């Protein structure tokens, strides 16, 4: 251990403010350097001075209780405040990332009539089995599932024989915001000859199909 490390080890255990601690470190180093100049070896000096804890305890006995409490409080704050700031950041980030719903009528991204038209066209293409046209209007991540095998499997969970489409029901829609991304989410119940199916369709800001759910 060199003189600096030894003095730093002592200073770390002294409960006082930074200015006073700096003065103590400076004085301890000067004392050690003076003794080295007089021919003493550092190992002997450290052995005679004692353990860092013992020396620090001696200094702490001469520091007022009020100043020691202030030192401990400030040390705790230095640890606690960054933790609180990180937690606050995480809370804000999680809230920002959580999906939030808004009235689509007030949206600056979507038009209700445009979304309604897109939903009906999507359902018509699904009924016609025109998956090429659907893929052309879909986001990249949707194009792998817009095929006869996947869609017929989803329809089969409701019925193997839907029959002809008879009626579009009322459409309910919202704007969904997740982070910086905006989505139009619409739900509609469609009546067929043998079954009623409820579609939940999601579109991104470019009105590309980004989600489909049937029940």
Q: What is the pLDDT of residue 24?
A: 83
* Cβ proximity of 14 and 56 under 8 Å: yes
The residue to which tokens 């606690």 are assigned: 80
Looking at the fold, whether 15 and 53 belong to one and the same domain comes out as: yes
Same domain assignment for residues 34 and 65? yes
* 107 plus 71 within the same structural domain: no
Same domain? 158 vs 59? no
**194 with 122, same domain?**
yes
pLDDT at 26: 86
pLDDT digits (tens, 9 = 90+) for 77-92: 888 888 888 888 888 7
Confidence check: pLDDT of 53 > 80: yes
Sign of the CA dihedral running 116, 121, 126, 128: positive
Q: Is the pLDDT of residue 206 over 80?
A: yes
Q: What is the pLDDT of residues 92-135, one digit of tens each?
A: 777 777 778 888 888 888 999 999 999 999 999 999 999 999 99
pLDDT at residue 16, rounded to an integer: 83
Among 50, 72, 96, identify where a domain stops.
Answer: 96
Verify that 74 and 122 share a domain, yes or no.
no
Which CATH number characterizes residue 150's domain?
3.10.450.590
Same domain, 81 and 9: yes
Point out the least confidently predicted range of 38-52, 125-139, 171-185: 38-52
| Cα torsion through 47, 51, 54, 58, rounded to 10 | 60
Considering its fold, how many domains does the chain have in total?
A: 2
In tens, the pLDDT along 128-174 reads 999 999 999 999 999 999 999 999 998 998 999 999 999 999 999 99
- Do residue 116 and residue 187 come from a single domain? yes
- Are 115 and 209 in the same domain? yes
Sign of CA dihedral 124, 127, 133, 134: positive
Among 67, 96, 125, identify where a domain stops: 96
Are 107 and 198 in the same domain?
A: yes
Q: Which residues span the domain enclosing 135? A: 101-214
If you average pLDDT over residues 180-188, what whole number do you get?
94
Please give the helix or strand (H or E) that residue 186 lies within, else none. Answer: strand 181-192
| 60 and 120 belong to one structural domain | no
Q: What is the model's pLDDT at position 38?
A: 87
Nearest CA among 193, 212, 199 for reference residue 131: 212
What pLDDT band is residue 75 in, cutting at 50, 70 and 90?
confident
Q: What global pTM score does this model have?
A: 0.61
Same domain? 16 vs 118: no
Q: State the helix-helix crossing angle for 18-37 and 3-12, rounded to 10 degrees.
A: 150
- Could you say which of 51, 66, 96 is where a domain stops? 96
């Amino acid at each position: 251990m060199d003189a600096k490390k030894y003095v730093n080890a002592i200073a770390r255990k002294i409960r006082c403010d930074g200015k006073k601690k700096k003065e103590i470190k400076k004085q301890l180093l000067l004392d050690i350097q003076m003794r080295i100049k007089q021919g003493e070896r550092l190992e002997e000096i450290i052995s005679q001075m004692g353990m860092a804890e013992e020396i620090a305890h001696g200094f702490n006995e001469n520091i007022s209780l009020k100043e020691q409490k202030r030192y401990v409080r400030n040390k705790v704050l230095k640890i606690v405040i960054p933790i609180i700031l990180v937690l606050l950041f995480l809370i804000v980030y999680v809230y920002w990332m959580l999906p939030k719903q808004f009235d689509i009528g007030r949206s600056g991204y979507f038009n209700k009539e445009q979304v309604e038209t897109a939903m009906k066209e999507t359902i018509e293409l699904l009924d016609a089995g025109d998956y090429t046209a659907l893929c052309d209007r879909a986001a990249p991540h949707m194009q792998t599932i817009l095929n006869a095998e996947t869609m017929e499997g989803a329809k089969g969970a409701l019925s193997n024989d839907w029959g002809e489409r008879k009626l579009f029901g009322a459409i309910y829609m919202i704007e969904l915001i997740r982070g910086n991304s905006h989505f139009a989410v619409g739900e509609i119940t469609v009546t067929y000859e043998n079954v009623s199916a409820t579609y939940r369709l999601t579109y991104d800001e470019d009105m590309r199909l980004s989600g489909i759910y049937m029940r």
